[in-house]
Amino acid sequence: MAAIKVSSKVEEGVWEDLKELAEESHQSISGLLTEAIRDYVRRRRVRPLVLEHLEASIETNRELGRRLAQ
């Protein structure tokens, strides 16, 4: 897959932690950032689906919820 160059600002302490992790894990900073962004995007995209299922479950069990609340 083609790579693109990005520019951003992060807190200095976070950057230092990232550099240390890259060194400890024998990975590049670029690799760690790619992995972190991929995980973040995946988690954010899953959440709406989870909420849809939750709302459907609440609707399906509305009467049970009302009785339990009493």
Q: For the chain, what are the domain ranges? A: 30-70
The count of C-alpha atoms lying within 13 angstroms of the C-alpha of 36, restricted to the half-sphere facing its C-beta, is 10
pTM over 0.85: no
pLDDT one-digit tens code per residue, 7-43: 999 999 999 999 999 999 999 999 999 999 999 998 8
